[in-house]
């Protein structure tokens, strides 16, 4: 009988160990199961679907492209804005071919240039100032008296514009105009 209590004690210890091993394993399995279930639920409820992700990416791409277009348009507007460029003051005395009367034309000439071409125009004008001034003087002197009337200046403006752009490397001048203009009979 002495053997029996030892057996019972061993058996009780073995059962207790088995229960604690099963209990520890059960808790571990239960914990892992809960974590997997929570992660799965989070995935299904919080992670967007492929359609939502693609729609979001497309919206961001569209916003980015529109922002780039606006910036490019604004830069183009700034570059293509028109500014005045002074071409000089002229005072020419001449006598029309059919008369012996003498006239004097006084004007201040300006040209319209795109902002992006301003530096190039300044450099070319500085290099060709004499030729441009001479060509403008010749256009004024060679004009008929009727072309020099204030309401007929469009033809003179076109001639001066064509001549100046011909002398410049590129057609930098968009148009020319007069700050002030006077035709005086002497």
Give the model's confidence band at 9: pLDDT under 50 very low, under 70 low, under 90 confident, else very high. Answer: low
* CA-wise closest residue to 180 among 93, 86, 96, 82: 86
Those residues with Cβ within 8 angstroms of residue 154's Cβ, 6 or more apart along the chain or in another chain: none
pLDDT recorded at residue 127: 93
Tens of pLDDT, residues 142-185: 888 888 887 778 888 999 999 999 998 888 899 999 988 898 88
pLDDT recorded at residue 112: 93
pTM of the model: 0.59
Q: Is the pLDDT of residue 60 over 80?
A: yes
Tens of pLDDT, residues 110-141: 999 998 889 999 999 999 999 999 999 998 88
pLDDT recorded at residue 93: 87
Q: What span, in angstroms and rounded, lies between the C-alpha atoms of 11 and 62?
A: 74
Q: Looking at per-residue confidence, does 43 or 36 come out higher?
A: 36
Q: Residue 66 is encoded by which pair of tokens?
A: 């529109």
């Amino acid at each position: 009988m002495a053997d029996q209590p030892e057996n019972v004690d061993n058996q009780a210890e073995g059962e207790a160990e088995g229960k604690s091993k099963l209990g520890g394993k059960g808790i571990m399995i239960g914990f892992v199961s809960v974590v997997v279930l929570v992660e799965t639920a989070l995935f299904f409820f919080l992670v967007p679907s492929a359609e939502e992700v693609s729609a979001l990416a497309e919206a961001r791409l569209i916003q980015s492209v529109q922002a780039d277009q606006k910036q490019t348009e604004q830069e183009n507007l700034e570059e293509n804005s028109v500014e005045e460029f002074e071409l000089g003051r002229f005072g020419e005395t001449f006598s029309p071919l059919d008369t012996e009367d003498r006239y004097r034309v006084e004007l201040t000439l300006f040209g319209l240039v795109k902002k992006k071409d301003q530096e190039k125009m300044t450099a070319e004008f500085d290099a060709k100032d004499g030729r441009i001034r001479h060509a403008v003087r010749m256009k004024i002197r060679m004009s008929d008296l009727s072309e020099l009337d204030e309401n007929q200046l469009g033809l003179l403006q076109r001639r001066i514009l064509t001549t100046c752009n011909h002398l410049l490397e590129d057609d930098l001048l968009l148009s020319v105009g007069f700050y002030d203009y006077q035709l005086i009979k002497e």
